[in-house]
Amino acid sequence: MKGTKPERGDYLRSIAYILFYVLIIGVGAVLLLPRHWYLWAVIVMAGLIWLVNWHRTQTLYQCPNCGHIYQISFWTDLISPHGVDKDGGWLSLHCPNCKQRRKTRVLKRANSNQ
């Protein structure tokens, strides 16, 4: 597995997808709540599943302790604390190599096309 540091376009694409998701659930809330709350809930869950799966397939993670590069499961990507700082995106993860829990750097998969 090879990963590279995400570029500005990668961050902008992620922000665009998140904004689109927020727009869809916002418009859905106005149109569907409270009478059709179950349809709105399906839209929210489907969008969340799509967004997390897209993120998981586009990224790898590098342990700051040992340098090991690895991928994570859908569930781990969904529930792990995420953040962005001056060095880029991070997730708080346990490294499968050294077993340390750290702010793990997000890398773009070298072979990902979008």
Closest CA to 106 of 49, 54, 56, 48: 56
Nearest one of 19, 10, 94 to 59, comparing CA atoms: 10
How many domains would you assign to the chain? Answer: 1
Domain of residue 21, residue span: 3-109
Question: In this predicted model, what pLDDT tens digit does every residue of 20-61 receive, in sequence order?
Answer: 999 999 999 999 999 999 999 999 999 999 999 999 999 999
Residue 81 belongs to some domain of the structure: yes
Does 114 map to a domain? no
The Cα–Cα gap between 66 and 84 comes to: 21
Note the pLDDT tens digit of each residue in 62-108. 999 999 999 999 999 999 999 989 988 999 999 999 999 999 999 99
Whole-prediction pTM: 0.85
